[in-house]
A and B are shown apart, each in its own frame.
Chain A
Amino acid sequence: MMNLETAKHPENLKRVVLEPLTRVEGHGKITLLVDDDNHVQQARLHIVEFRGFEKFIQGRPFWEIPVMVQRLCGICPVSHHLAAAKAVDMLVGARTLTPTAENLRVMLHLGQTLQSHALHFFHLSSPDLLFGFEDEITHRNILGVIADHPDIGLQGVRLRKYGQEVIRHISGKRVHGTASLPGGMNKPLTNHSRTVLLADIDQIIQWSQAAVKLAKKVYLSNPDFHQRFGYLETNMLSLIRDDGALDLYHGGLRAKDAQGQTIFDHIDYCEYQKYIQEEVKSWSYMKFPFIISKGTAEGWYRVGPLARVNNCDFITTPLAEATRQEFKFHAGGNFIHASLAYHWARMIEMLYSAERIKELLLDDVTMGEDLMAYGEKCQEGIGVVEAPRGTLFHHYQIDENDLVVKANLIVSTTNNNQAMNETVRQVAVNYLDGRSLTEGLLNHLEVAVRAYDPCLSCATHALGKMPLSVEMVNSRGDVVDSIVRSATGEIKRSG
């Protein structure tokens, strides 16, 4: 593929801006530079938010961090809470938690993964997948899904609700609760909570199985298109359990190249800086991480469900493992690189989360009351978890008075930055190049970004009705084409 990151002569090109991106978490935009024949010369995904958490937690006491940084996001606050909690565990010397605290943390994390994956698949992406990328925009949303497929739409809503209930029972609130303390958890799970959650879990597992089938069916319904759309051969990075099993809460770092060959494996994530660096580019607020040994050009990678399901050797729960084997079988045992396969992998993880939650609920260790571990305090802590969107790094240093002096966060979406950009370029070239722009065609770009389920660092959610204005300007600066989508979803064209 030609390099479309930076056009050679941008001064004479038309600029098409897709802003804001819809049905993703947070704010982003896509810019295209096209020539007078509508051939794409440059395509970029920009993250236009600036959050500044790394700066303003400096000077705060370390025990505030897990609760404070979860405010980064309203979709996956638990991931930030737990990554920070693991880092803070290190600060207080609690390298090993009590078994009960460990179980509660894992269950909290799985509840979040379940609700986040359900939200993304059903609320945000299923309208594209079920109705087509160019379906009428007023119909292409979760309300359209509920109207046309009430069983599917409502299952999505209820799956998400269940995940949030797991979070509430452990942390006190569905969003932004408190649970982790430095070295443990602040309350045991009550028998009432266990009973309530067990009552629904079999239904949740059943619906999750149906969701995997649906994602697979959609993917295989038009295999040529779905495999080709946003296809990239990339490295894959994820956490991995000691025995190679999928693990979303803890493990070592595993990176494999596009052919599935190991780049590094079972690396202590505290040494992540020896293996991963971040590149800064002048046109984006978001950094571009890469694997040091492969360099900036070849070292970028993908994270998240696709990377995790590709990377792991097996899944510990039986139903999810069976679906993983189907997934691997489809590609003859090789990595699947199609961006739209993210959805399939995501649903496999949702099934795993549901099954594992049931196991943890049935495990008497989860019901224990020994919640705190202690150790020798130190001044540097690193925590890594697999957030729903991918590998999430939190790294803190404190001074002798317990105040944070340095913080570094590499969030999941940052890891996918280059991959999302490359996907946008691939889709722009294959589907938009040389054509007159329509809302449906532009939605192809959004579908490409949406596959990664990017969390553009905040809790703003748009369900396809955010105002959108796209203008095409020729080399003389004249507007030759424009489309405006109002807040009500109405499309108007002028020019």
Chain B
Amino acid sequence: MSQPSTITIDGQTVPFQEGQTIMEAALAANIYIPHLCYQRDLTPDGSCRLCTVTVNGRNTSACNTKAMAGQQVLNNTQELQDIRQTLTRMLFVEGDHICPGCTKTGNCQLQAVAYYVGMLSSHYHHFYSYRKIDASHPDYFIDFNRCILCELCVRASRDVDHKNVFGLSGRGRKTHLVINSPSGELADTDFAVGDKAAFICPVGAILRKRTRYTTPIGERLYDLQPINVVGDAQQIHAGAKRHGNQN
């Protein structure tokens, strides 16, 4: 029987199966690589770049780079953490990520990643962009000001829900989330409570109406343990326990 193929991550030997990405191999070995646009069941997008790792001396995104035998991967280094912190800061200033007033606080993956990479301030000037909220849907509202263009909702709606409710439009810094409906409003789509896209948003952009702040401080996902221990925010959907908490 042949030996399983392995890579090393920060010196630790990590086995992988043929076809797995570095991210998948790392997660299987309980090694946390920061990420926002990656989700286990969806095709990797590689857009947030937070999972940047150094593979044999070159930086690449772990979520869409295949693991190959003998790779030497650096993940938890100061240089990479600095890069991730810079990326996280840029995400914060581009949108309206004011944690104290956001309903996702404590359960937000962006916030948790910011803590993980040691971000203590935004550093850069805020864009203060204003994008109108879409509250037309009876059960959900979209706060475009908080969208980080991770495309998780786009992929979930298209590939899992088979509804194609969301899309990205524009180019460069003008790229923005759009709703695929004649009016451009969520109410004119068949988006529904049970959709995977309804609870996949890692930030506070797609939120269930009227069910906010239901989890007390101290019991929220990232109150208890950091994201490198707890994992992605979407998991709490399954663990929702009080007052119909969905996020």
The verdict on A172 contacting B218 (CB below 8 Å), with A59-B132, A186-B242 known, is: yes
Interface status of A14 (Cβ within 8 A of chain B):
no
Chain A residues with CB under 8 Å of B218's CB are: 172
Chain B binding surface, main DSSP class: loop
Interface status of B210 (Cβ within 8 A of chain A):
yes
In B121-156, the 8 Å CB interface with A consists of 132-133, 135-136, 141
Q: For the complex, give the distance between the alpha carbons of A60 and B98 in Å.
A: 13
Interface status of B4 (Cβ within 8 A of chain A):
no
Q: Cβ of A172 and Cβ of B216 under 8 Å apart?
A: yes
Q: Cβ of B101 and Cβ of A71 under 8 Å apart?
A: yes
Q: For the complex, give the distance between the alpha carbons of A92 and B243 in Å.
A: 15
Q: Cβ of A403 and Cβ of B133 under 8 Å apart?
A: yes
Interface status of B66 (Cβ within 8 A of chain A):
no
| Closest beta carbon of chain B to A379's beta carbon, Å | 13
Q: Cβ of A61 and Cβ of B135 under 8 Å apart?
A: yes
Interface status of B168 (Cβ within 8 A of chain A):
no
Q: Cβ of A401 and Cβ of B136 under 8 Å apart?
A: yes
Interface status of A468 (Cβ within 8 A of chain B):
no
Q: For the complex, give the distance between the alpha carbons of A61 and B135 in Å.
A: 8
Contact partner of B210 (CB less than 8 A), chosen from A60, A173, A176, A402, is A402
Interface status of B32 (Cβ within 8 A of chain A):
no
| Closest beta carbon of chain B to A281's beta carbon, Å | 31
Chain B residues with CB under 8 Å of A176's CB are: 100
Q: Cβ of B212 and Cβ of A64 under 8 Å apart?
A: yes
Q: For the complex, give the distance between the alpha carbons of A253 and B129 in Å.
A: 42
Q: For the complex, give the distance between the alpha carbons of A171 and B211 in Å.
A: 17
Q: Which residue of B lies closest to A176 (CB)?
A: B100
Q: Cβ of B133 and Cβ of A63 under 8 Å apart?
A: no
Tally of B interface residues using CB under 8 Å: 21
Interface status of A15 (Cβ within 8 A of chain B):
no
- Specify which of A67, A182, A401 lies most central, judged by the most chain B CB atoms within 10 Å of its CB: A401
Interface status of B180 (Cβ within 8 A of chain A):
no
Q: Cβ of B213 and Cβ of A178 under 8 Å apart?
A: yes
How would residues 173 to 187 of chain A score, 1 for a CB under 8 Å from any chain B CB and 0 otherwise? 100111101100011
The verdict on A186 contacting B209 (CB below 8 Å), with A63-B103, A176-B100 known, is: no
How would residues 28 to 55 of chain B score, 1 for a CB under 8 Å from any chain A CB and 0 otherwise? 0000000000000000000000000000
The verdict on A71 contacting B100 (CB below 8 Å), with A178-B216, A402-B135 known, is: yes
Interface status of B228 (Cβ within 8 A of chain A):
no
In A84-99, the 8 Å CB interface with B consists of 92
Q: Which residue of B lies closest to A187 (CB)?
A: B216
Chain A residues with CB under 8 Å of B136's CB are: 401
Q: Cβ of B210 and Cβ of A186 under 8 Å apart?
A: no
- Specify which of A178, A179, A403 lies most central, judged by the most chain B CB atoms within 10 Å of its CB: A178
Contact partner of B135 (CB less than 8 A), chosen from A92, A172, A182, A403, is A403
Q: Cβ of B103 and Cβ of A186 under 8 Å apart?
A: no
Q: Cβ of B243 and Cβ of A372 under 8 Å apart?
A: yes
Chain A residues with CB under 8 Å of B103's CB are: 63-64, 67
Q: For the complex, give the distance between the alpha carbons of A171 and B216 in Å.
A: 7
Chain B residues with a Cβ under 8 A of chain A = 100-101, 103, 132-133, 135-136, 141, 209-219, 242-243
Known: A64-B101, A402-B210, A403-B133. 9 other contacts (CB 8 A): A60-B133, A63-B212, A67-B103, A67-B213, A71-B101, A173-B217, A178-B213, A178-B217, A187-B216
